[in-house]
Structures are given as C-alpha cells and as structure tokens.
C-alpha cells in the first residue's frame, strides 16, 4: 500500500480520543447555518443545493487541527455530520414550500382586489407583482407555523426512519455512497499518504477553476463568456432535439466524480437512460402519442420562438415530463417496494440486533440509538405532522387529517429507503419525485379541494425534508464507517441539530419572499414550479376540462405500469435494479450521461493502469472533483448574496 503519511504523526496521547467535542459541534453548526442561508437562496435560483459535508470537512482540518491544534479524524467527522444535518434540509424546504407561495399568489391574482390594484396602478399584473412581491406572495403567520411543524417532523422522522437500515445498506449490501466516500477521503487525507493527498488537491483545484469559470456568468452576466449549462451534442450532430445526447457542464465534474467513484456498477444507470431518452421519448414524439391538445399548445408557444429545433425541444420536453418521467417514478416506487420486501428480514434482524446490543453490557458502549428513543421519536414526529396538517387546513376535519398524516408517515419511511438506495448506488436523490408521489397519495386519499392541496403540500414538505435527512444520514454513516466513527454518536449529533436547518431555511425563504417573486427571475424555483404544475396534472381541479382529466388518468396509469415493472424486475433480478433503472428515466440525460462517463473512465483506467492506480490516483482525483465544485458554488453564492445586498435587484 502507498501510505507514507503526509505529515509527521503527532506523539501518542493518553487523553481520551476526541470524537464529540464542543469545538467540532460548534464549527459544524456555524458552517451548517451559513451554508443553509446561502443555499436556500442558491437553490431557489439554480434548482440544486450542495451538501455541506465535504466543505465542512475541509474547513475542519484548518480550524480543528490547524488553529486549535488538537482535531482528530473522527472529531472532524462529527463536524461534517453536524454541518450537513443542518444544511441538507434547505433542499427539502425550497423544493416544496414555494409551491404554497405560488398557489397563494395565483389566488391573489384572481381576486377582485388585485384586479383593482392593477387598474389603479396603471401597471401590468406582472410588474405590479414584481414591485410588491411581499404583498401578493404572502403566507400568514399561523400557516408558517404549520410549515415549520411539518418540516420539523420531517427532519426528525427522516433521521429516525433510516437508522435501522444502516446495518443492511452499509454493513451488508455495502452500497457505495460516492459523496460519503469523497468526504472520508478528505477526512483521512492527512494519513493516506502524500500521493493520494496530492491528487485530492489536484482534483479540488481543477474543479474549483472549472466550476468558477462556468458559474461566474450566472453572478455577473457581463462576463465575456456565456453561462454554460449543458453541452448539447444532439444539436452539434444535427440530431433531433427530442433525441437527447447532452453532457452536463455546470455540475459536470461532480457527476463525473460520482460516476468514477461508483465504477462499473453505475453503468446500469446508462441502460435506463437509453430506454427512457433514446427509446421511449422518441417513440412518444414520432408515433403520435402526444395528444392533439398538447400538440396545439406546443405549436402555439413555439410560435413565440420559431424554428424546428425549438419545436422539437418542446415536443421532447412534453414527452419527458408527461410520459418518461412518470414511468420512471413508478419504477422507482415499484423497485423500492420490492427492495423492502426482499430486505425485510434484514431490517427486522437489524432492529433485533440493536435491541440485543443495548441489552448486553459485555459488548461495551452501544453502537446504535436505543429502540425506545426511536419509537418515541417516531410517535412524536407523527403527532407534530398531524398538528401541522390541522394548523394548515382545519376545515378538512380531524379524522381526514389523521389519515393523511398516517399515510404520509408510512410513505415517508418507504421514500426514505428509496432515496437512500438511489443515493447509495448512484449519488442522486430524487427528492422532488418523492414530494410528487406524496401529493398524489394525499390527494387520492382526500380528494381535490383547496384544503386538501394545502395538506398535501404540507405532507410533501415533511417527506422532502425527511428523505433529504435520511439520505444525508446514510452518507454520513458511510463516511463514519470508513473512518471508524461510532454510529450512535453520529446519529445523536444529527438528531440534535436536524431541527435547525428547516427553521433557518424557512426564515430565509420568508425574507426572500418580501423582495423576490418566486417563479420569476432570479429566483425561478424550478422544482417548486414543476411540482405546482404537476399538481394540476395528477389531480386536476374539479372544473378542469376533459383533456386535463384524461391526462391525469393517463399519468396515474403510467405510474401504475412503472410500479408493476419495477416490482417484477427487482423481485426477480434483485440488487435494486428497478430502482436504478427508474432513477435513470427520472433524471435528465445530461446528468446520467456525464455520470456514466465517469463510470467508463473508472473501467478504462482500471484496465489500463490497474487497481492500485485507481485507488491512489483516480479515486482521490474524483473525490476532489466533488469537493471543488461544492467549494466553488459556496463562494459564488456568497459573492451573489453580497452583490444583491449591496446593489439589490435581480441578476
């Protein structure tokens, strides 16, 4: 093995080995809070967030060991666990809560008072909204309490639901969790040998330079080069726009790094993408499976942007959103149900072993949280979720809200497993897809009405936050496994601070709502807009026209077909195959293709240079790519926030 240490190892110590310390927790909280505020803004603008793990692990070395001169690897691991536990909730909040703002704004726009205000002002409706977003994009205080309660319940339940799966996913199935591996590489850098540390730094620097060049035009539009999102090979090769061959540029090195760390196993994702993007979507467009009403709409909007390419793009986009993606979400669901069935004995065995470990004094300190704490926490979380539903829409009635909270809680457990499996196998988390299924489930149970949509979105907030927390807990536990942390300490650290993230993100969101109009530039909130649009598709309003009723029915049937295929495939083939193939049909081609490129690079370098080269050079470089892009995004968001604070107004 390579490992000549990077620095001389400090002299042996007789003091207890540092793990949970005030310094580690405080540093984690500080980094987590700053990143939550930053990425609530950035996530609304860009549509994605960056996990705090790697950034805080880097800072941890500087502060704990550099400044305080006493940090240990497992102490720094607690620091990154705490930071990520706070920051991860921002994704759940910004993907779902703006949906409520969008619905409220639509209601306000339809009101007589708004029309009168437009008339009085002499402005267009959009200009009036932009001038006073706080007035028409308003959520009352008691309703904010409902959102806060819902997201808090999600944060706690998300951590508690995933704890029993640790043994199965990390110890036995040995899922990869690429970001967890990358974080562990940073934590262990000081002892992993100069060569690995050097290539980790090379990867970080390359990624910072690349991501900064790509991201700068988003902050300063006057930059002399344009903002690159994707490299559209279809366009360059004169292929139809609905035959997507695209590579991600923004976020590209992260995808390549994730794919490289996953290796050959990740290539299954490419198979699903080929079926989804190169078979299903083209068939829908070319075989006339787009309904005439949708075609007419596409032609109408295409008239504003004439050109064959633009029209093909819209046709492809309709097919992806309304056919390929629902089939993929269904497969994710079916594959996950099958995975749960297949691994149920392991889950119960894990719970039993946790109980036994607790009971046995001879095995030393307990490795996992006590089951009674877990059961009590789940019961409390359910009650808070029920209270959130009641606060949000008391007119629905206690029994129906109780049923909705129960359905959401059970689904949250399953969704947590789905997202943890996809994160473990591919590093991708389909959070907004899980939010969408939540809304579908709740509206199926409650039927469509104003109050039921509110309750459904509140439950979706909880599920989205919970799945984020659950997958982050698993990533952190994977990191912890690789550095030898005690799982119970990590679980306690995560639970102790998980409540902070949703509240910080929510307060930030409320402040931003006073200045910016969600859904409009610069805070376009793409996931929230997609969920808002999907609500009308999966549960059309009672006064919806016949076409939208048929579209809703067709979408539900696609979920059903996907679920059936995912169920049979995973029960028969095992290995979570349905989950990964479903995820590939859900993700944009640019992400999947770039990720697969990383997997292929792993295979190629393994064949050319051997396993040692992959371990000593390839993996550290790939981990550096993941870290550098995250660091760069943090800095760019900080600059953007400072620019907005100084000059105000949209970018």
Partner 1 sequence: MNLKNLARYVFYVGMAVCMIGGATWPAPQWFTVIVGLAVLGCGIAIKRRADRAAPEASEDGSTAGTFASAVAAMPVLRDGLRALEATAVEQPLTALAQALEELQRKGIDVVAGAQDDFVRLHGFVPYAAVMAPLATGERLLHRAWSAASDGHRPEALASIRAAIPHIASAGEALDRVTGHPGQTTDSPPRA
- Per CB under 8 A, residues contacting partner 1 are 1, 3-5, 9-14, 17, 72-74, 167-168, 170-172, 174, 188, 190-191, 271, 275-276, 279-280, 283-284, 287-291, 323-324, 327, 330-331, 342, 345-346, 349, 353, 364, 367, 480-485, 550, 553-554, 557-558, 561-562, 564-565, 568-569, 572-573, 577, 581, 585
- Looking at the Cβ atoms of 136 and 320, the one nearer to partner 1 is 320
- CA atoms within a 13 Å half-sphere pointing along the CA-CB vector of 616: 12
**Are 157 and 463 contacting, i.e. CB atoms less than 8 angstroms apart?**
no
CB of 566 to partner 1, least distance (A): 9
Question: 498: which DSSP letter?
Answer: T
Residue number, 48 or 547, with CB nearest to partner 1: 547
In this complex, which beta carbon is closest to partner 1, that of residue 318 or of residue 413?
A: 318
Are residues 277 and 240 in contact, defined by beta-carbon separation less than 8 angstroms? no
What is the nearest approach in angstroms of partner 1 to the Cβ of residue 184? 9
**Ramachandran area for residue 320 (φ above 0: left; ψ -120 to 50: alpha; else beta):** alpha
> Smallest gap, in angstroms, from Cβ of residue 487 to partner 1?
8
CB of 175 to partner 1, least distance (A): 11
The pair of structure tokens assigned to 365 is 């300190």
> Smallest gap, in angstroms, from Cβ of residue 323 to partner 1?
5
Q: How far is the CB of 375 from partner 1 (least distance, A)?
A: 22
As measured in angstroms, the least distance from the Cβ of 8 to partner 1 is 9
For partner 1, the closer CB: 220 or 348: 348
φ, ψ of residue 10 to 5 degrees: the values are -65, 160
Min dist CB 486 to partner 1, Å, is 8
**Residue 633 neighbours by CB under 8 Å, 6+ apart:** 42, 50, 211, 215
For partner 1, the closer CB: 400 or 481: 481
User: Considering the complex, what minimum distance in angstroms separates the CB of residue 93 from partner 1?
Assistant: 33
H-helix or E-strand spanning residue 230: strand 230-232
DSSP letter string, 525-578: -HHHHHHHHHHHHHS--TT--HHHHHHHHHHHHHHHHHHHHHHHHHHHH-TTHH
Under 8 Å between Cβ of 587 and 571: no
Separation between Cα atoms, residue 203 and residue 631, nearest integer Å:
12
- CB nearer partner 1, residue 194 or residue 449: 194
Name which of 279 and 642 has its Cβ closer to partner 1: 279
Quick one: CA dihedral 199, 202, 206, 209, positive or negative? positive
Q: How far apart are CA 631 and CA 188, in angstroms?
A: 18
CA distances from 564 to 21, 87, 129, 561, 572 (A): 49, 36, 45, 5, 12
End-to-end CA distance of the chain: 50
The two structure tokens encoding residue 584: 């590939």
Least distance in Å: CB of 183 to partner 1? 14
Q: Name the residue nearer to partner 1 (CB basis): 11 or 306.
A: 11
**Minimum distance from CB of 27 to partner 1 (Å)?**
17
* Beta-strand pair 246-248/230-232: antiparallel
The rounded distance, in Å, linking the Cα atoms of 212 and 460 is 34
Compute the least distance from the CB of residue 185 to partner 1, in Å. Answer: 13
User: Is-contact 92 468, C-beta < 8 A?
Assistant: yes
Query: Dihedral (C-alpha) 233, 239, 243, 245: value to the nearest 10 degrees?
Result: -10
CB of 3 to partner 1, least distance (A): 5
Q: How far is CA 175 from CA 165, 180, 235, 368, in A?
A: 12, 10, 37, 19
Closest CB to partner 1 among 7 and 521?
A: 7
Q: Which is nearer to partner 1, 74 or 156 (CB)?
A: 74
Nearest Cα to Cα of residue 583 among 488, 439, 471: 471
Q: How far apart are CB 315 and partner 1 at their closest, in Å?
A: 13
> Who's near 525: CB < 8 A, 6+ residues apart?
44, 47, 94, 98, 102, 518, 519
Residue 594's contacts (CB-CB under 8 Å, 6 or more residues apart) are 247, 248, 252, 255, 256, 259
Nearer to partner 1, 14 or 140 (CB): 14
- Of the two residues 533 and 550, which places its CB atom closer to partner 1 in the complex? 550
**The two structure tokens encoding residue 548:** 């939208």
How many Cβ atoms from other residues are within 10 Å of residue 605's Cβ? 17
Residue with tokens 């607790």: 358
Residue number, 77 or 513, with CB nearest to partner 1: 77
Residue 377 or 582: the one with the smaller Cβ distance to partner 1 is 582
Q: Which is nearer to partner 1, 324 or 432 (CB)?
A: 324
Residue with smaller CB distance to partner 1, 227 or 271: 271
User: Which of 640, 600, 631 shows the shortest CA–CA distance to 267?
Assistant: 600
**Least gap, CB of 282 to partner 1 (angstroms):** 10
Radius of gyration of the chain (CA): 24
CB 187 within 8 A of CB 180: no
Residue 172 beta carbon to partner 1: minimum distance, rounded to whole angstroms: 5
């Amino acid at each position: 093995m390579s490992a000549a240490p990077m620095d001389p190892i400090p002299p042996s110590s007789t003091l207890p080995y540092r793990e949970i310390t005030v310094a580690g927790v405080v540093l984690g909280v500080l980094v987590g809070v700053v990143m939550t505020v930053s990425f609530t803004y950035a996530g609304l603008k860009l549509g994605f967030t960056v996990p705090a793990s790697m950034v805080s692990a880097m800072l941890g070395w500087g502060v704990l060991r550099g400044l305080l001169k006493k940090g240990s690897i497992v102490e720094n691991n607690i620091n990154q666990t705490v930071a990520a536990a706070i920051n991860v909730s921002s994704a759940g909040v910004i993907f779902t809560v703006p949906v409520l703002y969008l619905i409220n704004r639509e209601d306000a726009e339809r009101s007589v008072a708004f029309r009168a205000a437009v008339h009085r002002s002499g402005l267009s409706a959009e200009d009036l909204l932009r001038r006073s977003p706080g007035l028409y994009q308003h959520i009352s205080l008691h309703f904010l309490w409902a959102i806060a309660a819902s997201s808090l319940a999600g944060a706690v339940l998300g951590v508690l639901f995933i704890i029993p799966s640790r043994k199965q996913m990390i110890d036995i199935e040995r899922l990869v969790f690429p970001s967890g591996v990358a974080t562990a590489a940073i934590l262990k850098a000081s002892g992993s040998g100069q060569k690995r540390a050097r290539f980790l730094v090379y990867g970080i620097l390359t990624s910072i330079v690349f991501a900064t060049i790509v991201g700068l035009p988003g902050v300063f539009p006057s930059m002399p080069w344009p903002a690159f999102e994707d490299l559209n090979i279809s366009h360059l090769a004169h292929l139809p726009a609905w035959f997507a061959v695209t590579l991600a540029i923004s976020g590209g090195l992260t995808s390549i790094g994730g794919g490289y760390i996953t290796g050959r196993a990740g290539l299954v994702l490419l198979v699903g993408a080929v079926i989804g993007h190169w078979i299903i979507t083209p068939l829908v467009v070319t075989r006339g499976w787009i309904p005439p009403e949708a075609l007419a709409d596409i032609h109408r909007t295409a008239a504003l942007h004439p050109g064959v390419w633009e029209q093909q793009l819209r046709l492809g986009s309709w097919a992806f959103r309304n056919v390929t993606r629902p089939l993929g979400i269904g497969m994710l669901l079916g594959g996950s149900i099958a995975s749960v069935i297949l691994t149920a004995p392991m889950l119960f065995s894990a719970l039993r072993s946790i109980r036994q470990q607790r009971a046995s004094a001879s095995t030393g300190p307990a490795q996992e949280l006590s089951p009674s704490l877990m059961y009590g926490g789940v019961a409390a979380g359910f009650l808070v979720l029920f209270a959130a539903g009641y606060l949000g829409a008391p007119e629905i009635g206690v029994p129906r809200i109780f049923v909705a909270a129960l359905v959401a809680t059970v689904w949250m457990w399953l969704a947590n497993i789905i997202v943890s499996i996809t994160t473990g196998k591919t590093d991708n988390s389909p959070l907004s897809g899980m939010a969408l299924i939540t809304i579908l489930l709740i509206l199926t149970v409650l039927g469509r009405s104003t109050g039921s949509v509110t309750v459904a979105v509140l439950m979706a907030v909880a599920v989205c936050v919970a799945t984020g927390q659950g997958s982050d807990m698993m990533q952190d536990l994977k990191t912890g496994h690789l550095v030898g942390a005690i799982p119970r300490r990590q679980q306690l650290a995560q639970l102790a601070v998980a409540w902070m993230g949703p509240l910080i993100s929510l307060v930030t969101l409320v402040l931003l709502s006073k200045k910016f109009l969600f859904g409009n530039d610069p805070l376009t909130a793409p996931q929230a807009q997609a969920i808002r649009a999907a609500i009308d598709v999966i549960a059309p309003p009672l006064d919806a026209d016949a076409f939208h009723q048929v579209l809703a029915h067709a979408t539900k049937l696609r979920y059903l077909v996907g679920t059936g295929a995912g169920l049979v495939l995973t029960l028969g083939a095992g290995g979570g195959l349905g989950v990964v193939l479903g995820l590939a049909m859900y993700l944009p081609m640019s992400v999947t293709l770039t990720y697969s490129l990383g997997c292929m690079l792993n295979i190629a370098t393994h064949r050319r240079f051997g396993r040692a080269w992959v371990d000593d050079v390839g993996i550290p470089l790939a981990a550096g790519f993941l870290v550098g892009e995250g660091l760069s995004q943090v800095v760019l968001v900080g600059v953007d926030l400072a620019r907005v604070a100084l000059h105000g107004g949209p970018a």
